[in-house]
Amino acid sequence: KQEVTQIPAALSVPEGENLVLNCSFTDSAIYNLQWFRQDPGKGLTSLLLIQSSQREQTSGRLNASLDKSSGRSTLYIAASQPGDSATYLCAVPSGGSYIPTFGRGTSLIVHP
Amino acid sequence: GAVVSQHPSWVICKSGTSVKIECRSLDFQATTMFWYRQFPKQSLMLMATSNEGSKATYEQGVEKDKFLINHASLTLSTLTVTSAHPEDSSFYICSATGRDSYNEQFFGPGTRLTVL
């Protein structure tokens, strides 16, 4: 069974900082890995999807990397803004499945 | 991008009643839909997976007779919480994947259920 761990659990930073959010998983035989954003009381917004054959994906100020062999993914947020404040979730399927297991998330606060 | 809607966005009901939540894919055909529940400050827990026209597959510990899932078409899945009790109060979120989405999941906005 896939286990997903996200570090740190919470992060509070001033505006403008570059951030690194970490996700580790136990079963590396995965098809893909997905990063989501969740605002309080809201559903999930997909940020980046990395296929197993890819090493990284970029969207605007976001960059996600994937190292399957070590069971790790990193979400990098450049020049953070108050609007980035949210919970960031990492989702990884178990080996042989497309159904993801979610980490508990990193709660991010970016203050002006 | 792919859009998934849920209705209602929130519902309050009395203990013992049944509540139906709809999940729709608006601009794509959802080959598979997923239902999750999320407790405060917790991550998402998968409840069941449903494919159009077939019975849902429930996760261990989820009562299939209590949480009825119907995936009647490629754009609609429903979750009915039967004989709801206060412990069923939670945030219910659906997601969907389509044929051409490389198994990327698209999530609905969620439904907040409060059982009094």
pLDDT of residue B95: 92
pLDDT of residue B2: 82
pLDDT for B24 beyond 80: yes
Tokens matching residue B113: 């259920």
Residue B102 pLDDT grade (very low, low, confident, very high; cuts 50, 70, 90): low
CB contact under 8 A, B49 and A99: yes
On whether any CB of chain B is under 8 Å from the CB of A25, the answer is no
Query: In this structure, are residues B48 and B95 in contact, taking their beta carbons and an 8 Å threshold?
Result: no
pLDDT of residue B61: 92
Q: CA nearest B90 in A: which residue?
A: A41
pLDDT of residue A28: 87
CB contact under 8 A, A46 and B104: yes
Find, among A43, A37, A46, A25, the residue nearest to A93 by Cα.
Answer: A25
Distance from the Cα of B94 to chain A's closest Cα (Å) equals 9
pLDDT for B88 beyond 70: yes
pLDDT of residue A97: 75
Residues of A in contact with B25 (CB under 8 A): none
**Angle at A22 (CA atoms; ends A49, B59), nearest 5 degrees:** 60
Work out whether strand A19-25 and strand A10-14 pair parallel, antiparallel, or are unpaired: unpaired
Chosen from B103, B111, B114 to mutate, greatest number of chain A CBs within 10 A: B103
Cβ-based interface (< 8 Å): residues of B facing A: 1, 6, 34, 42-44, 46, 49, 91, 93, 95, 97, 102-110, 112
CB nearest to B106's CB, from A32, A46, A102: A46
Interatomic CA distance for residues A70 and A79, integer angstroms: 27
Q: What is the pLDDT along chain A (112 residues), one digit of tens a residue?
A: 889 999 999 999 999 999 999 999 999 888 899 999 999 888 888 899 999 899 999 999 999 999 999 999 999 999 999 999 999 999 998 767 778 889 999 999 999 9
On whether any CB of chain B is under 8 Å from the CB of A52, the answer is no
Query: In this structure, are residues A102 and A4 in contact, taking their beta carbons and an 8 Å threshold?
Result: yes
Burial B61-81 (b: 16+ CB within 10 A, else e): ebeeeebbbebeebbebbbeb
Dihedral sign (CA A43, B76, A94, A55) = negative
Interatomic CA distance for residues A17 and A20, integer angstroms: 10
pLDDT for B101 beyond 70: no
pLDDT for B31 beyond 90: no
CB contact under 8 A, B42 and A32: no
Residue B42 pLDDT grade (very low, low, confident, very high; cuts 50, 70, 90): confident
Taking CA atoms, A62 is separated from A22, A39, A84, B72, in Å, by 13, 17, 11, 37
pLDDT of residue A41: 83
pLDDT for B1 beyond 70: no
**Helix, strand and coil in chain A, % to nearest 5:** 5, 55, 40
Taking CA atoms, B99 is separated from A74, B6, B55, in Å, by 28, 21, 19
Residue B105 pLDDT grade (very low, low, confident, very high; cuts 50, 70, 90): confident
